[in-house]
């Protein structure tokens, strides 16, 4: 992965986070429509009732704001994927473990895209309840988090193993001298 590509991904990740949490394009804008609004895609799991209640409370203007957020979130997903790939390539040296970690982060991004797409569809038709789709959407959200947590655990284990390897290598090198 090229340095410029990694740089754009990592910088884009942080820019998206800033926009999502400090501007009207994100959570702050949504809270103008509902002061207690909780982002659906940041919950580990939610119900069809939660989806319906969120859209009902936001109303048409709030849903339009949520659509802007989701557009930004698609950019975030791409940038986060690049950042995660960069971390994986730095930390995971073993081929098969690295491939599993890459599969996990690709799955995380895929679950996030499906989740956003379903939420957009549900928000566009919010006067009609689609409880099955809302429940499915929540399971994609849960799967996204599970993939992320397993990836994070894998990265932590790989990093810890590399530290142990370096210490053993230094100790062996010192013993040889």
User: Mean pLDDT of all residues in the chain?
Assistant: 91
Inter-residue contact 28 to 22 (CB < 8 Å) = yes
| DSSP 8-state class, residue 129 | -
- Predicted confidence at residue 15, as pLDDT, reads 95
Hey, is 36 helix, strand or coil?
A: coil
Burial of 50 (0-12, 13-18, 19+ CB in 10 A): middle
Global confidence as pTM: 0.88
pLDDT (0 to 100) of residue 1: 66
- pLDDT at 94 > cutoff 80: no
Alpha helices in 37-94 (DSSP H): 48-91
Q: Quote the tokens at residue 140.
A: 């994609």
List the one residue out of 41, 62, 56, 48 whose CA is nearest residue 114: 41
CB 119 within 8 A of CB 70: yes
d(CA 129, CA 144) in angstroms, rounded, equals 24
Chain-centroid distance, C-alpha 79: 10
Query: Domain range holding 60?
Result: 3-176
Counted domains in the chain: 1
Rounded mean pLDDT of 35-42? Answer: 87
Each residue's pLDDT tens digit, 112-148 = 999 999 999 999 998 888 999 999 999 999 999 999 9
Q: Comparing C-alpha atoms, which of 147, 24, 154 is closest to residue 92? A: 154
Tell me if 55 sits within 8 A of 101, measured CB to CB: no
């Amino acid at each position: 992965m090229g340095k410029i590509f990694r740089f754009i991904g990592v910088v884009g990740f942080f820019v998206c986070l800033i926009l999502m949490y400090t501007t009207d394009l994100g959570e702050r804008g949504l809270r103008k429509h509902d002061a207690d609004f909780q982002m659906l895609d940041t919950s580990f799991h939610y119900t069809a009732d939660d989806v319906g209640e969120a859209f009902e409370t936001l109303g048409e203007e709030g849903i339009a704001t949520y659509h802007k957020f989701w557009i930004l979130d698609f950019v975030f997903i791409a940038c986060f994927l690049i950042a995660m790939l960069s971390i994986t390539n730095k930390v995971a040296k073993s081929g098969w473990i690295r491939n599993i970690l890459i599969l996990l982060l690709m799955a995380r991004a895929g679950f996030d895209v499906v989740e956003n797409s379903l939420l957009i569809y549900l928000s566009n038709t919010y006067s009609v309840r689609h409880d099955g789709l809302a429940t499915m959407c929540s399971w994609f959200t849960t799967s996204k988090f599970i993939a992320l947590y397993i990836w994070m655990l894998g990265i932590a284990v790989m990093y810890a193993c590399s530290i142990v390897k370096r210490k053993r290598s230094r100790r062996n090198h010192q013993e040889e001298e």
